[in-house]
Structures are given as structure tokens and as C-alpha cells.
Amino acid sequence: MPGNSFGKMFRITTFGESHGPLIGVVVDGVPAGLPISEDDINFELSFRRPGYAYTSPRREQDRAKIVSGVFNGRTTGAPIAIVVENTDVDSSYYEKMKYTPRPGHADLPYIFRYGFENWDYRGGGRASGRETVARVAAGAIAKKLLMLLDTKVAGCVEAVDGTRIKEGITFEDVLKSRCRRFRACKEEYEVTFQKILEEAIKEGDSVGALVRVVVDGVPRGLGEPVFDKLKADLAKAVMSIPAVIGFELGIGFEAAYKRGSEVSDELIVVNGDIRWRNNFYGGIVGGISTGEQIVFRCVFKPTSSIRKPIKTVDIRTLEEKTIVVEGRHDPCIGIRGVAVVEAMTAITLVDHAIRSGLIPSTRLSQKDVDVVEDRWKRYREICQHGEGYQ
Amino acid sequence: MPGNSFGKMFRITTFGESHGPLIGVVVDGVPAGLPISEDDINFELSFRRPGYAYTSPRREQDRAKIVSGVFNGRTTGAPIAIVVENTDVDSSYYEKMKYTPRPGHADLPYIFRYGFENWDYRGGGRASGRETVARVAAGAIAKKLLMLLDTKVAGCVEAVDGTRIKEGITFEDVLKSRCRRFRACKEEYEVTFQKILEEAIKEGDSVGALVRVVVDGVPRGLGEPVFDKLKADLAKAVMSIPAVIGFELGIGFEAAYKRGSEVSDELIVVNGDIRWRNNFYGGIVGGISTGEQIVFRCVFKPTSSIRKPIKTVDIRTLEEKTIVVEGRHDPCIGIRGVAVVEAMTAITLVDHAIRSGLIPSTRLSQKDVDVVEDRWKRYREICQHGEGYQ
Amino acid sequence: MPGNSFGKMFRITTFGESHGPLIGVVVDGVPAGLPISEDDINFELSFRRPGYAYTSPRREQDRAKIVSGVFNGRTTGAPIAIVVENTDVDSSYYEKMKYTPRPGHADLPYIFRYGFENWDYRGGGRASGRETVARVAAGAIAKKLLMLLDTKVAGCVEAVDGTRIKEGITFEDVLKSRCRRFRACKEEYEVTFQKILEEAIKEGDSVGALVRVVVDGVPRGLGEPVFDKLKADLAKAVMSIPAVIGFELGIGFEAAYKRGSEVSDELIVVNGDIRWRNNFYGGIVGGISTGEQIVFRCVFKPTSSIRKPIKTVDIRTLEEKTIVVEGRHDPCIGIRGVAVVEAMTAITLVDHAIRSGLIPSTRLSQKDVDVVEDRWKRYREICQHGEGYQ
Amino acid sequence: MPGNSFGKMFRITTFGESHGPLIGVVVDGVPAGLPISEDDINFELSFRRPGYAYTSPRREQDRAKIVSGVFNGRTTGAPIAIVVENTDVDSSYYEKMKYTPRPGHADLPYIFRYGFENWDYRGGGRASGRETVARVAAGAIAKKLLMLLDTKVAGCVEAVDGTRIKEGITFEDVLKSRCRRFRACKEEYEVTFQKILEEAIKEGDSVGALVRVVVDGVPRGLGEPVFDKLKADLAKAVMSIPAVIGFELGIGFEAAYKRGSEVSDELIVVNGDIRWRNNFYGGIVGGISTGEQIVFRCVFKPTSSIRKPIKTVDIRTLEEKTIVVEGRHDPCIGIRGVAVVEAMTAITLVDHAIRSGLIPSTRLSQKDVDVVEDRWKRYREICQHGEGYQ
């Protein structure tokens, strides 16, 4: 199957380009009966929205429109299509620069693959971060469905530039980062992160980010041997996000420098239930969820578009050129990226929950619906909108 | 689709358990005309084989038998099935221990998912590293097919325990690690690695490993936006391997601590061709191969089975118990794991090459065959067998 | 994967309901470089459009809007999304009738599957024939791509009510049926078909239809053993169309009453090429195309909505009720259905052509484009629009 | 995905050729806990076995060997691999005839697709009816799983040559045909069918067959709009069987000659349940099962191998040649084909039952197991083995 779909039983297909009329997503495999509104989608979109000096100056309202699959406020079992219009589009800069591909962007690889004459050079086209609007929209449905299992996904920024949060980070810390502008895993780091970003902006530079995701209330037994291990599907989900170049589960790369005796977990009994004492491996053992919190990290590279001159090549003449990327750009895409990572995580988990029969594939009962509504309401109260929202 | 298959156009389906009669794989989507022999498969299997004090004491001959899809030494376009018998199996230990799941293994997650009464407790069953024999067998076909594009995959061990190879590692270094017992990326580290392993064995402990993979001769344009990005599919492929808990492309997690200006690549002209100067992002930009070498790292956790006492729980009584894992085990699974990572990488690349039309999906021409045979012959001469082979 | 997608390498995903704001389709897997316009889509839609007394009174303009995947008139390799607005919608009748499901429609099965409370009862919702607009839109792209191979798909009506066209039907006959209002396979039957339909309308009744499809210029070797045989995929494609309840290839069901000696084909040499003399099996042998014309038939049941009283049951009370379906409906859906069968056939063939490497999966060369444009122009000249078009 | 797999959640992958060492199948997606034995598989294989003058003289024992996925007599959730050895193989005839392809077989299409030099000409290779052993083996698992829903699949022969059974055929008739050598839908036709076959054999000719399948105890709500309609997936399943060239649901092709008023069904109340009075559309409306019996027909063409001279072409010289197919062949493949159609039907239904959550995807409860065992025992008592079995 071509590459614009993700998931097996809960399956999203995205479409739309950065400078096309809209970004859209079809979500197929949603059971009937789920109450879902455009406001639910917009709520999640608010955590991805720009709207502040530190982020991209493109001013999109990002208002979701549900155009199929929902009737009388509930899903019908039909595919749900959601579109978000692109309203603030100016392609003139890209028109001018189309013969000098930006080295850190997908420009040249797209030209290699699809041919220069077919390349949508406007704002990165399909490779733009704007495509992730569709993922966050679909993620809102996934997150709401996960309420049935009381599963909550949250992400935060653990490090930017040289600064890394070293203190123990709890799920509550992570969840509350949704109320913070810079998504720091600990509130006290917000100021530091702000300073780092302000400095980067001033210098026309950008910074990378380490993002941590924690999932609380994970049902046991999710993940399918041997290729669709939960860790494998999460890795794919997250690595498919633009600018993400690393993924690690639990102690991750640290394990390369450890002895087995240092990082061997133990089984213990807590309240009559078997549990892992240390959760070294991020809630997934043998590719299957253990019921402990899922914990992983991913890394966003520094935004490629910086205000410093970059060397490139004119593809007509093969002359080396120096270009300067105009406009202002997110100095740290990892911050808005958190919302996208959360969405992809939720989508992956719902997919596996349906595959395993933990969420029904055809329809929710009224009791299911009541549970979902109640938990969702409380979830939305934690942070009523993303800080990019105005 | 259930989880025991991988790939879209070049698709492998594995079967068999650690203590069942055999391990097998069906490879569907191989074009007709590829010369392939059991010896070709055994060649690759030799790089995964135990056969030395430092690795698992289970003595498997690992002789592949091709039971379908090949006629007169060439593939016919039919699915290729390969089986490898399990000959050295003793389940008595596992029988005895079945009520006290090993914390670092898939025991308890499998029980959660499939039920204790259905659990194949013998040697980890399907979750055993033994399943990866099937992957390496399929990988041999993938590697041979990649010869058509002159694409070569090789991996090596970059770090074990506290020791990391810091010097620049070339593709030739990596390729030659196939001739080394400990797969060190640089020959001079073999002795150090050996010492670390010997010490670990002496102490009944185990160590993690950092594995580096380099792919040389990568065609441009591989990878499918937006979910089947090459980096995403590689991440899934590698993270589906038992014990792998992290994946990073190019500079990977380092990027979290970098400024954009430090890690912005440049386009330059080399011999009339546009190239990336630094290849910071491991040969994949925008999810599509750039033609530069693909470079990624993954981490294997230390072997879970160590000779030190581990705490667990008796699932019948919920009493906490201390067990000692008997027998001898690989002190560092990452070493034999390199062959598995290579295989999964080759399988992913072939899949994308077929999807992109760079390798024909139905049949090779005689000219193709000649090219493949010639390059394969030279590839096999580099290291005629893995060092585990006797 | 959920059921709203079709195809492996050329993959369509449809969305939208009969009385929702729009019907849409995402077509993923279209190579870059294909010139495609909204006019091309509208052209094909005209062959499915109502617009005449004999067909449904719903007056839809059916104007396609391409909202992604096309830039400067050519495909970019990105997924193509097409939407067609629903403008002439009146749900009041359905609102009134929602407790008395129509026996021949999907009403009750949808209620069984998704729950009454989630059922979109307006005009059949997702089960409406209106969904097929999306298929015909996608089919336009498929048909145009097939021009690369000089493959042309055409269908016609071979029988309605008691009248069956018995004379030899050539591909040209079938192709020209596109210029006929009743799509009769032979022009001289148009009048008879018209009379049958007029009579059915007068009596408030409906009639079934036998549809024949012929594909000319089929490349050899399409179809994948053993499950994705071309005959199997065509059968699925066609049987997925609402109201189609039978599919037969070549001599089809007649074969049940034949001796092998009567229907054994022969190989002969024609112009230096091996050919099948009789093409008894409709251009597919062993599940693979032979290069002869593909010939199959399918049957549309008579429209379920007739003006005669039907017995049903009130689902609240389980009382048996008699209802009369209001409004006017297509007396023979098979006629407009021909365009849908053509579309699904083209989609299936393109999918297989890409899978087999006969149509490139990533991009067309300029030479390819020129060939396509030229042939498409000539194809459009045969019948400049469907007769439903005004 | 390549073509040797079928199903989405219950997925079979077959391998092996007519004259290779074995035929095999991997069944992935079987929930853990299902009791399954080689004897269960052999039971179903007995209904497909030759073993009588009227069928192919190849004498295969067809003993299934389960090589993975079953432990202590129950499925473990791992993929189940089953192999059946080919023991009675003689390729000499095919060796001799390889340059003169048989017109009605897949010989030439395979050569077109895969190249003559890669063609496995021995006994049809992968295109042989022998491949269907794998389907019947997998079908045994599917049939047993369906017991959970009390769903029973049975097929029979409704017509051979000119003789068609016109009397009302009940599910019991069909089920009992399993005890009959010629699988006549009514016992009294066995003699007639025998005569027809004996005559065909005497004349070195073959006959086609019309096969009817009835499924009793179908759960409501199976089938996924809009492409994976149950009728579409059944059509694909059945049309993928060698020699099947037509499929019709319920009244099928007859509908082309009917008025809506003649074939409009009615809803009625029977024992407090809404039912369709006539089940004209074979238990599927809107692509979704209605709970009525599923009824469809398919047609097997007459065996292509007959003892009469056939014209073909020498592919080396393009000279027209006359060949005589040696040996004895099934004069009517439709008879043994019934077992294959049953298997593909059961596989399709189980797949949809798992997708819809009616059969658990991960594991059966002990109560489920007891139900399955009890019903299966009774099912096996109806006809203890196929009549081909000796």
C-alpha cells in the first residue's frame, strides 16, 4: 500500500499540501457511537498551533471541519474525514527559490523521487510540518477512544540545546506540560527554555529538542509478535514525524553501557497484582505492554530553516550558491512537535487496542459512551487549550 | 494483518518456536530469476550462529532447507519457503520454571496476552531470539537482490559496556567486522571487547551493545511520504528485533543538544553530482534516501538471562520467589544481533526498492542476473563465513 | 485494514455519505507527472450522472474539486483528494421512515452492525449508490493512467428484463455504448431498452440488468498467484458495487453445462504472436492476463426502491407494516452502474499494472506523459460526455 | 502485498508447488486456546482427496503435519504452519512437454509473467490444483473456529454437464453431500452424476460443475462497507480458486431478467425476530450479513486436461503443434473443488468475524473452548471422512 496511510484496524490516511487549499485526513475503523465534535478536534489542534513569537509566523486558524462519518454528534462506523483549510499561504518566496534546494529539507529528495517538473516546491509541499495537522486531528479521535481504557498519553520537552531535565519526571508532570508554552517536563524549566529560544531567535539560529512521552493506564497485552511489537509500531509512528531522528524506549541507549545486573528488572507483588519494580524497559517487554507506564523519548533535530546563510547548489547549472532562508521560523520545532508525537502514540495504541479486541471494532455500547464522555470531560479540564491558542 | 509478516512488496512471514521442530520463513514478492541456493542462506546464517564460548551453548547446525519457490537454482516468482530445523532442544528446565516468569523476558507479557494455559514456555517459544534465524535467512535473499543496485549493508558493534569506539568508522571498517568474532567496528577493539565479555561471563553477568549499520551504494529516492518514510520503516524493522530498545539515524540523539547552525548540512557538487557535505542525517532527508550512505545506530539491552539471582513471582500463589537462570547464555546478544539488524535493514531496503520500481517485481533479466551473481560472488569473498561458524 | 480502501499499490479510500456535505476519495499511489484536471474527472462523472426522466430525480451537479496531489496540472506523487459536493439533499422523507427499514436496502444490516442509535438513515448514508461517485472520480485517474499501456475499459448493458442481446458484441460496440443513453451493447437495442424502462416507470416497478465489460489492449502477465489472481481481484472490485450480485468471466456459468472438448481453447499463431483462438475464458488463464481482451459480465439486481407497497417491520414495536417508497428512483440502476463497473475495472487493472512494474510507481517520463495525453484526447473524443449530462 | 496471502485478521499464506517437496500454509491470526490436531486437518483434507477412479490418479496420502503454533494440542497465538508432503511425483511427462504449453492451463501466462527460463513446468507448479491442499488445511482451522458462533459451511454440486438439480435444496441436503462421492446436492442425483462422469471418462472428456454453498448460523452484521462487503470478499475468495470462473449470490444472474416487484424481499417477524421472508439475496444485503443463510453458487470450468488432441504452439519455433495430454485426470474438478470452496468460505467468514469482534483475536476462554469442542465433535460425526478417503 502506498505510504500515506498508517495503522491496521484504526487507519488514517492524510492528504493535502502546505500551500494547497487544505490539509485533510480520513480515519477509517472508528467504531460507531463515539461522540466527537469539531470542538474536540480543535481542542487537540490548539496544542500544535503556532500563535506566538517563538513559533512560525504563519497564522493559521486551524479550524477542523468534519465532513463525513459523524451524524448527530456520534460516529456512524463510516470513515471520518476531517479537513483544515490553509488560509495564510504565500508561495512567492518558494517560487523564487525553487532552483536552489534547501539542504536540510526534503526539497532535493523529492526532486530525486518525483522529478523536478512535478515537484510542489511551495512551502515544502507534502513534506511540510503542516501535514502534521492531519495527524493531530486524527489523534484527537484516538485519544478520546482511549478514554474507554482510561489510557492517557502525554508528552513534554525534556531537553533543549544543552539543558536537560534530570529530576524524576512523573506522569502528572508530563500531563501538565500541556498547560505550558514550552512544554517543559518540569515547570521550573520553562524560564530556561524560554531564554534558550529567545537567544536562538536573536541569533537567527535554532535548537533541537528531546521529547519524552509517558502513557498512563496502559492495558496489558498490547502488541503483536513478532514484527508488530508495540515498540516497533511506536518507533515507526514517531519516526514518521518530520524532523524526528531517534527513538528510545525506557532506558534506551543508556543500555549500551550497562551490565545486565544493573538493569535487570524484578517482578514484585503490589496490591495483589504482579508488577515490574523498575520499569526499565518503558512498559514494553517482549514487544508487549506490561501494564506499567509506557515511557519513551524521541529527538527532534534543530529546525533546518535558520537565518544564517546556507550553501546549496543551483540544480540548473550545478553552481554552488549561498542562500538565506527568509521569514521567521520555529526556532525549535520539537515544542509544537510534542502534540504530534502524542497523536501518533495515541493512534498506535488505539490501533493495537482494536486489534486485540480491547476496544470494539464496530460499535460502542451506551455504557462505553458514558465512560468515554466522562473521562474526556475531565481530561479536557486539565488544560483547556494549548498555549499557542489565543 | 496479524503481526508475523513484514514488508509490503517484499514480504516475509516467519513461523516456528524456539523448541518446536523448526523455524521457518515464507518470502513472498521475490522476482523470478534470482539465483539462490541453500548455501547462500547458510552463508548469512553463519554470521548469526553461536559456536563459541562467548555465546549461547545451544548447538544448532542451522542448515537452511529451501522447500518452495526455487527451481533449477533460480527463483520462480512463487513464494520462497525456507526452514531450519531445531535439533538441540531441551525443554526440561523451562518445564520446571514455568510458574515463575523471568522478569526481563516475554514470559509474563505472553501470559497476559494469550493466557497461561496456552503459553509455550519452552525456551521463550515464539519470543525467543531463535526466531531471528528466519529473518537472517530471508535477509540473505534480500541482500542478494540488493546486489542489483550495488547496495551493500553491513553492521558492527560500536560499544559494549563502557567502551565506545570514537574514531571515524568507514563503511570498509564496518564491512570487515563481518570477519571479526566480536564484530567490533575497528579491529583494534576486538581485544577489548573480548576482555569485557570474558569478564562478564566470569561474573555471570551480561552487557549491552551499541550497533552501527552503514549502507553503501544507496539509490536515491527510496522512502514513501508520509508514513512509510525510509527512516520510519527502518526504525520499525530494527525495533522489532528482540532486545533492541533504541534507534537513531545519523547524529540521532545528539541533535537534542545542538544548534541548527552546528548541524545544518550543505549541498555541494562532487564530480558533477549534487551531494550532502556532512551527511549529518544518515542518508535520509524528508524520509527519502539522498544517495549518501545510510547510517544508523541501535542498542541491544544486556541479555536478560544472567547467572545472578533474580526476583520474580510465582503466578499460582503470588509469592515472591528468587530464581537463578540455569545454563550459559550469550553474555552480549548484540554481537550475534548484528546479523539480524543487517537482515532487517536489507529486507526494508529491498521492499522499498521494489515499491519504487528500482528492482523489478516480477522477474530479472539475464543481464540483471549476471550483475547480481558477479557482485554476490565478490561480496561472499570478503568474509567467507561468520566467526561463529566452525 | 478497515473496508473503505481498495487496491494495493494504487489505493483508493472513499468517504462521505448520501446526505452529508460531500462525497470524497483519496487516491494514493499515483505516479508523479500525470496530467489530470477537474474536467477529466467531470468527464467520467458525466457517464454516471442522472439527468433524465429514467433516472433518479436527485439533481446533483457532480462537479469534482481536486484538493490535493495536483500542482500545475500534474500529479506530484502526493495523494490525490477529490471531493464532490452534495447539493440536492432532502432528508425529511428518511427522517419520517427511520423506524421501518426498507427490506432490500442496507438499512437493517447497518442497524445490526452499528446500532440503531448510530445509524445514518438519511438516503442510505454510506450504503447509498451516491458513494460510487467517488469510485468513478478515482476511475478517471485510473483510466487515464491506463492510456500508457493503451488499455481501454468499456462496459455496456447486455440485457434488461427479458431482453438479451445475443449478437456478437465487439469492443467497438461496447465502447460506443458510452454515447447511448441506455448503454445498450448494440445501438439497435436502445429503443427496446427505452420501452422496457418506460413501462417499468409507468408501473412503478424496476428491472435488473446484465452488464458486460470488455477491456482492450490488455498487457500480458497481469495478476498475482495465488489469491490476487486477476479474476479474483476483478470479482471483488465489481462485487463491491452496490446491487451487483453476480460476476462471471468469459463463458462463465455456461461452463457448468459444457464438456471440456467444447470449451477447450487452442493456441495459434497470429502475426508471429501466440494467441488463444476463442478466448473462452475472458482473457485470463491461471489468474493471469493472456493479452486477449478481458471479457466479463456482472448483474445488477432491480432497484429495490419501487413504488409498490412493501412489507416491513417497525423496529420499535416489531409490528409488521406496509410502506410505500416515495419519490422517483432509477428504474434500472444497472444503466448508470456501467460507469461504476468501468471505474472499478480500471482501478483494479492499474493497481496490477503498477504492482507488476508496467506502470511506474513513482513518476512518468515526459515521453510517457505525451503518450498518455495523446491517447486520452482521442478517447475523450469518442463520446464527449455521458448522455445523462446536459 | 504480494499475492500469496489472503485475509486481514485471519491471514493465510500458502507456499509449495505441485512437484516440490511439499505444500504448506502459514495461518496467522488464530487466537490462542483453540484445540487443533493433525487429525482435524486430515479430516478436512479427506474431503478433497482423490482416491477413486473418477479422480486424478496421483496418489497422495495428504497427511498434514503441524510444525508451529500448536503446543499441548492448543493454539498458542503464534502463527500455525502446516505442511503436507508431496510423495507421488513424476515430472518426466512435463519435462518432455515444456515447449508446448497447454492452452487451458496457466503455462503460457506464467511464461509471460515470469519468463520461460524461470518457469516451474512440473505439473503446473504453483498454478496446480495441488496448491489448494493448503487452503483446505487452513480451512479446517477456520471451520473449527466458526463453531464458536455455531456457523457451519457446506457445499454441494448442483449441476454437471446438462443435469441440474432443480428441487429445493436445504442446508441439510448440502451438509449431507459431504458423505457422497459426487457431492450431489440431493442424494438421488448421485447416480446420474456418476453416469455423466463415467461417460466423460470413457470419452476422454471432462465436464464443468455448478457448486452451491450454504452457510447456516451466520451472525448478523458481518461485512465491512464499502469495499470489504461480505459479498465482495466471498467473491474474491472463491474466484481465487483454480478453474472457478463465476460467482453469484442468492438469485444471482437470474436478477437480470426480473422485475423489482418479483424479487423484492419482505421483512417479517418470526419468533420475535425480524427476518427476511425470501432471502432472495443470499443472506447478504448492503454487503452485510442479515443472519439468514448465506447462499451462493460458483462454477468450475471443465478440466482443461482431456485425452483429446489439443492444438498448441511450440514456443521455440512458433510452429503449431497438436498434443495429447497423457495420464488420467479428474474428469470434473468441481467435485473435489467443493472442499476448497468450503474452505475459502470459512476462511473469509472467520476473518470477518474476528474483524467484527465476534471471535476474539487474542485468545479463547475455556468456556469458548468447550463450546467449540462439543460442536466440532458433532460436526465430525455427520460424515466421518470424505469419500475419496480409503
Per the structure block, which three cell numbers stand in for A147? 478514554
Which domains does chain D show, CATH number per domain? Answer: 5-382 (3.60.150.10)
Distance CA A290, CA A281 (A): 10
Q: What's the pLDDT band for C49 if we cut at 50, 70, 90? A: confident
Query: Position B233: which residue type?
Result: D
Q: What mean pLDDT do residues C76-81 have? A: 98
CB contact under 8 A, A11 and C17: no
A76 Cβ under 8 Å from any chain D Cβ: no
Contact B206, B217 (CB under 8 A): no
Chain A, window 346-375: residues with a beta carbon less than 8 angstroms from a chain B beta carbon: 356
Kindly list the distances between the CA atom of residue A106 and the CA atoms of A112, A307, C302, D66, in Å, as whole numbers in the listed order.
10, 18, 53, 49
Of B127, B250, B320, the CB nearest to A269: B320
What 3-state class would DSSP assign to C23? strand
Distance CA C25, CA D191 (A): 54
A286 Cβ under 8 Å from any chain D Cβ: no
Of C259, C269, C356, the CB nearest to D206: C259
Q: What's the pLDDT score for residue C389?
A: 45
Chain B hits for C1, Cβ within 8 Å:
1
User: Which of C18, C247, C307, C354 to mutate: most D Cβ within 10 Å?
Assistant: C247
C281: pLDDT strictly greater than 80: yes
Q: What's the pLDDT score for residue B255?
A: 97
Q: What's the pLDDT band for A390 if we cut at 50, 70, 90? A: very low
CA dihedral A350, A356, A361, A363 (to 10 degrees): -90
Which of the given ranges, A122-126, B239-243, D381-385, has the highest pLDDT on average? B239-243
Per the structure block, which three cell numbers stand in for B389? 561458524
Q: What's the pLDDT band for A337 if we cut at 50, 70, 90? A: very high
- How does DSSP classify residue D301? P
Q: What's the pLDDT band for B387 if we cut at 50, 70, 90? A: confident
User: Which of C183, C253, C315 to mutate: most D Cβ within 10 Å?
Assistant: C253
D123 Cβ under 8 Å from any chain B Cβ: no
CB contact under 8 A, B360 and C357: yes
Chain D hits for B68, Cβ within 8 Å:
15-17, 20-22, 24
Of D1, D221, D361, the CB nearest to A362: D221
Q: How many CB atoms lie within 10 A of CB C35?
A: 17
Distance CA D382, CA D226 (A): 37
Q: What's the pLDDT score for residue D93?
A: 86
Of C76, C83, C113, the CB nearest to A118: C76
Instruction: Print the SS3 string covering C141-157.
Output: HHHHHHHHHCCEEEEEE
Of all residues in chain B, the one with the smallest CA distance to A196 is B259
Chain B hits for A237, Cβ within 8 Å:
232
Q: How far is B349 from chain D (nearest CA, A)?
A: 15
CB contact under 8 A, B229 and A239: yes
CB contact under 8 A, D253 and C210: yes
Q: How many CB atoms lie within 10 A of CB D87?
A: 13
Q: How far is A77 from chain D (nearest CA, A)?
A: 9
Contact A255, B208 (CB under 8 A): yes
Mean pLDDT taken over chain D: 94
Q: What's the pLDDT score for residue A385?
A: 87
| Among the ranges given (B269-278, C12-21, D59-68), the one the predictor scored with the smallest mean pLDDT | D59-68
% of chain B beyond a pLDDT of 70 = 96
Distance CA B229, CA B287 (A): 4
ipTM over 0.95 threshold: yes
Of A109, A303, A318, the CB nearest to B272: A318
Mean pLDDT taken over chain B: 94
Contact C2, A6 (CB under 8 A): no
Encode pLDDT of D316-335 as tens digits.
999 999 998 776 678 999 99
B52: pLDDT strictly greater than 70: no
> SS3 breakdown of chain A: % helix, strand, coil, rounded to 5?
35, 25, 40
Q: What's the pLDDT score for residue D195?
A: 95
C129 Cβ under 8 Å from any chain A Cβ: no
Q: What's the pLDDT score for residue D307?
A: 86
Of A1, A355, A361, the CB nearest to D356: A361
Encode pLDDT of C305-316 as tens digits.
888 899 999 999
Chain A hits for C122, Cβ within 8 Å:
71
Provide DSSP, B68-96. ESEETTEE-SSPEEEEEE--S---HHHHH
D221 Cβ under 8 Å from any chain A Cβ: yes
Contact D353, D345 (CB under 8 A): no
Encode pLDDT of A162-186 as tens digits.
899 988 999 999 999 999 999 999 9
Q: What's the pLDDT band for C283 if we cut at 50, 70, 90? A: very high
Of all residues in chain D, the one with the smallest CA distance to B17 is D68
Provide DSSP, D30-67. PPBT-B--HHHHHHHHHTT---STTS--------EEEE
Q: What mean pLDDT do residues B229-233 have? A: 98
Encode pLDDT of D32-78 as tens digits.
999 999 999 999 999 998 755 555 566 778 899 999 999 999 999 99
User: Which of B261, B280, B303, B323 to mutate: most A Cβ within 10 Å?
Assistant: B261
Encode pLDDT of B21-51 as tens digits.
999 999 999 999 999 999 999 999 999 987 5
Kindly list the distances between the CA atom of residue A103 and the CA atoms of A181, A321, B54, in Å, as whole numbers in the listed order.
30, 11, 45
Q: What's the pLDDT score for residue A327?
A: 66
Residues 6+ apart with CB under 8 A from A52: A181, A387, A388
Chain D hits for C286, Cβ within 8 Å:
105-107, 109-110, 127, 242
Q: What's the pLDDT band for C387 if we cut at 50, 70, 90? A: confident
CB contact under 8 A, B78 and C360: no
Tell whether pTM > 0.90. yes
Q: What's the pLDDT score for residue B389?
A: 45
Chain C hits for B225, Cβ within 8 Å:
77-78
Encode pLDDT of D180-238 as tens digits.
999 999 999 999 999 999 999 999 999 999 999 999 999 999 999 999 999 999 999 99
Q: What's the pLDDT score for residue C101?
A: 95
- Burial environment of residue B53 by CB neighbours within 10 A (0 to 12, 13 to 18, 19 or more): exposed
Of D225, D356, D361, the CB nearest to A356: D361
Mean pLDDT taken over chain C: 94
Q: What's the pLDDT score for residue C52?
A: 53
Chain C, window 23-42: residues with a beta carbon less than 8 angstroms from a chain A beta carbon: 24, 26, 28-29, 32-33
B390: pLDDT strictly greater than 50: no
Encode pLDDT of C167-215 as tens digits.
899 999 999 999 999 999 999 999 999 999 999 999 999 999 999 999 9
What 3-state class would DSSP assign to B260? helix
Q: What's the pLDDT score for residue C51?
A: 53
% of chain D beyond a pLDDT of 90 = 88
Q: What mean pLDDT do residues D353-379 have? A: 98
Of all residues in chain D, the one with the smallest CA distance to C273 is D318
Encode pLDDT of A257-316 as tens digits.
999 999 999 999 999 999 999 999 999 999 999 999 999 999 999 998 888 899 999 999
